[in-house]
Amino acid sequence: MQKLTLGRIALHEFNRALRIWKRLLPPEQIIELLITQRDKMIVAAIRTLGIAIIGVLWLASNKSALNLSIKFIELSVPAAFVNTVVALALSFTLLNLINYFLLNEFIRLASNKLFKFESAWALTVPYEGGNAYSLSLVQQFRFFQSSKVHKVFGKTIVYLWTLPFLLIFMAIYWTVFAVGYNVLHQDGILSVTGIFTIASLLSTIIPIMLIIFINIPFKFSKNAGYIRWLFLYPIYRRQGLPPPDRWISG
């Protein structure tokens, strides 16, 4: 029995896939493709976050409906539906950020496995120069040893970068749930706006659950049957050897 986080499981699965990609593509192309996918995630997150922020600013004006004019069509969108759009945009923003950070870990693993180089941020600068500033914050432990001041400075910059975004996400969550509560209180759960509101609120909970559960260790047991008969046994047959008298214990 072993405890592993779901993030570690994701790394394990990617490591298995990486063995296949190593036979199909050169290492530099694999890294480039991973960086491209990571860039797509951050661009998508910025777009959806922008939609959520604009929607929250409109909801803060306390208007009952959003009037839209599309060519010859005039639409009046109730605030409840605007709140649904904001909630969905928030949900997709967080999901894209989860993908972004997982891809960061995949790039780190690929950097180590393909190039035997553990500093993925430095390795990817030729493909993505926007993170070059972060190299000055990397703690040194090889030929140079970072001082306490350098370590504190690096962590402080990271926290200062993170804090504004956390405040923005908190403000969006507060607005979405506050408006949702008012809609359910006024229109009821079984109304059309109530159903949309419940669905949108549930969608905002999913990313938070993912973030929590990805970092919580779960118990995993060794699948002795698979190891014996589907992994080891074919190897022994190909080599013309009899299976060992004592198989791996469960």
- Only one residue has tokens 């029995």, namely 1
- The predicted-structure confidence for 105-126, as pLDDT tens digits, reads as follows 999 999 999 998 888 888 888 8
The values of phi and psi at residue 222, to 5°, are -75, 130
Whether 14 contacts 114, CB under 8 Å: no
pTM: 0.87
Q: What is the pLDDT of residue 250?
A: 47
What is the spatial distance between Cα 5 and Cα 217, in angstroms, rounded to a whole number? 4
Instruction: Determine the average pLDDT of the residues in 148-173.
Output: 90
End-to-end CA distance of the chain: 9
- The predicted-structure confidence for 14-47, as pLDDT tens digits, reads as follows 999 999 999 999 999 999 999 999 999 999 999 9
User: Which range, of 10-14, 102-106, 229-233, averages the lowest pLDDT?
Assistant: 229-233
Residue 154 pLDDT grade (very low, low, confident, very high; cuts 50, 70, 90) = confident
Spatial neighbors of 206 by CB under 8 A, at least 6 apart, are 91, 95
73-78 and 217-220 strand pairing = unpaired
